[in-house]
Amino acid sequence: MNVEKTGGRPFGSGRCSSLSGSPGAAPVVHRMVEAMSQLREEKAQLQEELVALRERLAVRDSEQQATSTQLQNQVEHLKEKLISQAQEVSRLRSELGGTDLEKHRDLLMVENERLRQEMRRCEAELQELRAKPAAPCAGCEHSQESAQLRDRLSQLQLEVAENKGLLSELNLEVQQKTDRLAEVELRLKDCLAEKAQEEERLSRRLRDSHETIASLRAQSPPIKYVIKTVEVESSKTKQALSESQARNQHLQEQVAMQRQVLKEMEQQLQSSHQLTAQLRAQIAMYESELERAHGQMLEEMQSLEEDKNRAIEEAFARAQVEMKAVHENLAGVRTNLLTLQPALRTLTNDYNGLKRQVRGFPLLLQEALKSVKAEIGQAIEEVNSNNQELLRKYRRELQLRKKCHNELVRLKGNIRVIARVRPVTKEDGEGPEATNAVTFDPDDDSIIHLLHKGKPVSFELDKVFSSQASQQDVFQEVQALITSCIDGFNVCIFAYGQTGAGKTYTMEGTPENPGINQRALRLLFSEVQEKASDWEYTITVSAAEIYNEVLRDLLGQEPQEKLEIRLCPDGSGQLYVPGLTEFQVQSVEDINKVFEFGHTNRTTEFTNLNEHSSRSHALLIVTVRGVDCSTGLRTTGKLNLVDLAGSERVGKSGAEGSRLREAQHINKSLSALGDVIAALRSRQGHVPFRNSKLTYLLQDSLSGDSKTLMVVQVSPVEKNTSETLYSLKFAERVRSVELGPGSRRTELGSWSSQEHLEWEPACQTSQPSARAHSAPGSGTTSRPGSIRRKLQPSGKSRPLPV
């Protein structure tokens, strides 16, 4: 009986506890579902808000579009106004035409240009505004932030969707477990009901058995039998009981197992609750983030909105200001137009007046032309008579000029002596013999110093050219002489000096650097060209040489033929050389041909030209003949360019035979030249022209108004100092024969050829031999070391004998 009682109680209490757990799971799931639906609602709300915001943005965009179109309309309007103004201005411009109006027009054009620029600016701003909605705040930090927020939002939305999926899966699981629980509970209920029925039946049978036993005990013997039967039956019942107990045990085990399962399920439910709570927390976090992002986005939108509004307002204000300025300009233009109108009226009046004047102009012009013609005729007559007068005066002036020139030449002294020192050359060699012995005075270009045998000697000439002087420098000095040839003067230029001192270089020069000869002819050509309008000139050239007192034609067909100097048969007293070839030259090419021809003649004639040329005098005779086209006046000028034979004193070195003869001839002719020049310079009565072929040939060119220049060539090196000293003494001696103002010397000792040879330099005093020009007490020196001899007057100068 005890067993029955204890077995029944635990079963009953176990059933109660298992039944109280199953209704608790349903509310949790319910709450989760509720939370889910709440989240869904919130999401829908957010989406709605987003849509609303988008709509607002669209509205703003359309508003902005409207503003911009409005602004564009305004700009269009302004453009139209401008165009109309420009048309009006152009109309006015076409109507008007005066100078005052042009100023106004210019002003209007400037204003117009300015207005155009403003309009262009407005258009640019408009373009900017248009560009803004298409790319809101492109590149600004707000837009970047909002894009980030949008990205974050979409991320969060994705996460929410994921969580929702997870939640729904959990819900499904919970549902399944709840169903299984309900099933297990149902089965447990059935088992319990079955067990209760069995117990009921068994207890009823037990009670029946007890009652039967008791009745049987009361009935004694039969009862014993009955008891025995009952006992037999009771063992059967006991077996049935133990069976039912075993079954009960099995059921209890099953219930415990079910409880275990329930417990596990409860734990699972618990964890799913926790998961749900976590998810909720996450969702709450996402929501707050969403909220924040939303807030930021709203702020962003707000600031963008404000920016946009501000920009629109600013643009609008600017447009208004510009509009105002345009209006003001318009007003200015209008007032300008008003002021222009009276000017236009006066201009029209002026124009009409001018028109009337122009109509009457041809008549006036004819009259004026008539009177002017008469005036011009009169003026021409006057000019003609003036011209005649001027021509007469010109001719007189020409005569006067020539007279003056003659006088000037007479006063200045028509013989000038200059020196030119050649540079030291390779041919001079090296060593003490080749050292420089010549120096110059830096302050006076007419002084030259020579160191001879250790003693300094100085000379004064008309000019001294140092070794640095160029061909052009030298030519500059002689230029005036050459041009005077065109005016009909005779000119002689001599190059004097020892062989190798640079005579030929100075006269002929080199092809690259020509000397006086070629430069003189070039100058003559250019001068003649300049005068070509009034004068007709012909320039002819002859070339001759004098060797051993024999004159030869260098341009003739037979150069070896001896030429004679004769008096002109016309009784003019002029000399001429029959058979001397004359070439007319017109250009530099002609000169070159002539020179070349002369050179070839000389080369073929003499095998050693250098030696020969140093022992002969070479003459280039240029004759310039001119005719004055207006007067018929004729002039003839002769330019004699002479490269003299070497002045070195060969006789002293004991030369013999032909060499001695050559030297004697050279010395004779050079002495004669010295004599003639001295005689001329001192205005001597008798000039010994006939003492040599050279002086005789040049008689015309040395006498009268003619001019002579002696270029004394000097070698600078030590070994030549003796000859240099000799040359410089010769030069100074020629020069020192000077004419004092109003005083003339009639007599002067001549230089014999012997003297030319034997004249030794007086180095220390630098005083030339007094024998040559003995004029007692007349010697004066202008500066130390120089010789200057004043010559005494001797009465009138005679015309030079022929």
Residue set of the binding site for ATP: 497-504
Going by the DSSP 8-state scheme, the letter that residue 573 receives in this structure is -
Smallest distance, Mg ion to C-beta of residue 609, A: 10
By C-beta, is 136 or 497 nearer to ligand ADP? Answer: 497
Instruction: Report the partner that residue 132 touches, choosing among Mg ion, ligand ADP, none (CB closer than 5 to 8 A by kind).
Output: none
- The CA angle 388-390-392, to the nearest 5 degrees, is 70
Is 616 among the residues that bind Mg ion (CB under 5 A)? no
Long-range contacts of 588-595 (CB under 8 A, 24+ apart): 588/518, 588/521, 588/522, 588/525, 591/518, 591/521, 591/522, 591/541, 592/518, 594/541, 594/543, 594/555, 595/508, 595/517, 595/518, 595/543
Residues 563, 579: contact at Cβ < 8 Å?
yes
The residue within the footprint of ligand ADP, chosen from 297, 492, 501, 663 (CB under 6 A), is 501
Smallest distance, ligand ADP to C-beta of residue 721, A: 16
Residues 347, 93: contact at Cβ < 8 Å?
no
d(CA 475, CA 519): 7
- β-partners of residue 492 are 640, 708
d(CA 587, CA 591): 7
Instruction: Report the partner that residue 423 touches, choosing among ligand ADP, Mg ion, none (CB closer than 5 to 8 A by kind).
Output: ligand ADP
The residue within the footprint of ligand ADP, chosen from 262, 490, 494, 502 (CB under 6 A), is 502
- β-partners of residue 89 are none
By C-beta, is 195 or 552 nearer to Mg ion? Answer: 552
By C-beta, is 452 or 503 nearer to Mg ion? Answer: 503
By C-beta, is 576 or 606 nearer to ligand ADP? Answer: 606
Is 514 among the residues that bind ligand ADP (CB under 6 A)? no
By C-beta, is 497 or 598 nearer to ligand ADP? Answer: 497
Is 724 among the residues that bind ligand ADP (CB under 6 A)? no
Is 423 among the residues that bind ligand ADP (CB under 6 A)? yes
Instruction: Report the partner that residue 501 touches, choosing among ligand ADP, Mg ion, none (CB closer than 5 to 8 A by kind).
Output: ligand ADP
Task: Name, in order, each residue with C-beta under 8 angstroms of 575's C-beta and a sequence gap of 6 or more.
Answer: 565, 566, 567, 568, 696, 697, 699, 700, 802
Instruction: Report the partner that residue 626 touches, choosing among Mg ion, ligand ADP, none (CB closer than 5 to 8 A by kind).
Output: none
Residues 135, 272: contact at Cβ < 8 Å?
no
Is 272 among the residues that bind ligand ADP (CB under 6 A)? no
Residues 659, 634: contact at Cβ < 8 Å?
no
Is 753 among the residues that bind Mg ion (CB under 5 A)? no
Query: How many residues line the site for ligand ADP (CB under 6 A)?
Result: 13
Smallest distance, Mg ion to C-beta of residue 505, A: 8
Is 671 among the residues that bind ligand ADP (CB under 6 A)? no
d(CA 667, CA 346): 100
Smallest distance, ligand ADP to C-beta of residue 430, A: 16
CA distances from 660 to 650, 666, 735 (A): 7, 10, 29
Is 484 among the residues that bind Mg ion (CB under 5 A)? no
Instruction: Report the partner that residue 505 touches, choosing among ligand ADP, Mg ion, none (CB closer than 5 to 8 A by kind).
Output: ligand ADP
By C-beta, is 75 or 619 nearer to Mg ion? Answer: 619
CB atoms within 10 A of CB 523: 18
Smallest distance, Mg ion to C-beta of residue 503, A: 5
State how beta strands 707-714 and 491-496 pair.
parallel
d(CA 684, CA 739): 10
Residues 712, 731: contact at Cβ < 8 Å?
yes
Instruction: Report the partner that residue 502 touches, choosing among ligand ADP, Mg ion, none (CB closer than 5 to 8 A by kind).
Output: ligand ADP
Smallest distance, ligand ADP to C-beta of residue 453, A: 23
Buried b (16+ CB within 10 A) or exposed e, 500-514: bbbbbbbbbbeeeeb
State how beta strands 788-790 and 779-780 pair.
antiparallel
Which range, of 398-406, 494-502, 630-638, 722-730, touches ligand ADP by CB under 6 A?
Answer: 494-502
By C-beta, is 239 or 600 nearer to Mg ion? Answer: 600
| Residues in the annotated binding site | 497-504
Smallest distance, ligand ADP to C-beta of residue 660, A: 20
Is 716 among the residues that bind ligand ADP (CB under 6 A)? no
The residue within the footprint of Mg ion, chosen from 64, 504, 713, 752 (CB under 5 A), is 504
- β-partners of residue 447 are 460
Is 296 among the residues that bind ligand ADP (CB under 6 A)? no
Which range, of 272-280, 407-415, 502-510, 781-789, touches Mg ion by CB under 5 A?
Answer: 502-510
d(CA 268, CA 262): 10
Is 497 among the residues that bind ligand ADP (CB under 6 A)? yes
Element (H, E) at 449: strand 447-452
Smallest distance, ligand ADP to C-beta of residue 421, A: 8
Q: Which residue is nearest to Mg ion (CB)?
A: 504
Residues in the chain: 802
By C-beta, is 505 or 726 nearer to ligand ADP? Answer: 505
Which range, of 282-290, 504-512, 619-627, 710-718, touches Mg ion by CB under 5 A?
Answer: 504-512
Is 500 among the residues that bind ligand ADP (CB under 6 A)? yes
Is 674 among the residues that bind ligand ADP (CB under 6 A)? no
CA distances from 95 to 338, 346, 634, 645 (A): 14, 13, 73, 93
Which range, of 163-171, 364-372, 418-426, 451-459, touches ligand ADP by CB under 6 A?
Answer: 418-426
Residues numbered 602-631 forming contacts with ligand ADP, rule: CB under 6 A: 614
Instruction: Report the partner that residue 332 touches, choosing among ligand ADP, Mg ion, none (CB closer than 5 to 8 A by kind).
Output: none
The residue within the footprint of ligand ADP, chosen from 252, 425, 574, 792 (CB under 6 A), is 425
Question: What is the 3-state composition of the chain as percent helix, strand, coil, each rounded to the nearest 5?
Answer: 65, 10, 20
Which range, of 55-63, 313-321, 341-349, 500-508, touches ligand ADP by CB under 6 A?
Answer: 500-508
Smallest distance, ligand ADP to C-beta of residue 425, A: 5
Residues 619, 641: contact at Cβ < 8 Å?
yes
- β-partners of residue 550 are 547
CA distances from 71 to 65, 80, 680 (A): 10, 14, 109
Residue 396 sits at φ, ψ, to 5 deg, of -65, -40
By C-beta, is 258 or 499 nearer to Mg ion? Answer: 499
Which range, of 162-170, 406-414, 499-507, 678-686, touches Mg ion by CB under 5 A?
Answer: 499-507
Is 579 among the residues that bind ligand ADP (CB under 6 A)? no
Task: Name, in order, each residue with C-beta under 8 angstroms of 96's C-beta and a sequence gap of 6 or more.
Answer: 105, 340, 343, 344, 347
Instruction: Report the partner that residue 416 touches, choosing among Mg ion, ligand ADP, none (CB closer than 5 to 8 A by kind).
Output: none
Instruction: Report the partner that residue 422 touches, choosing among Mg ion, ligand ADP, none (CB closer than 5 to 8 A by kind).
Output: ligand ADP
By C-beta, is 488 or 514 nearer to ligand ADP? Answer: 514
CB atoms within 10 A of CB 89: 20
Residues 533, 684: contact at Cβ < 8 Å?
no
Residues 726, 649: contact at Cβ < 8 Å?
yes
By C-beta, is 496 or 525 nearer to ligand ADP? Answer: 496
The residue ranges that bind ligand ADP (CB under 6 A) are 422-423, 425, 497, 499-505, 614, 713
Which residues would be at the binding site for Mg ion (CB under 5 A)? 503-504
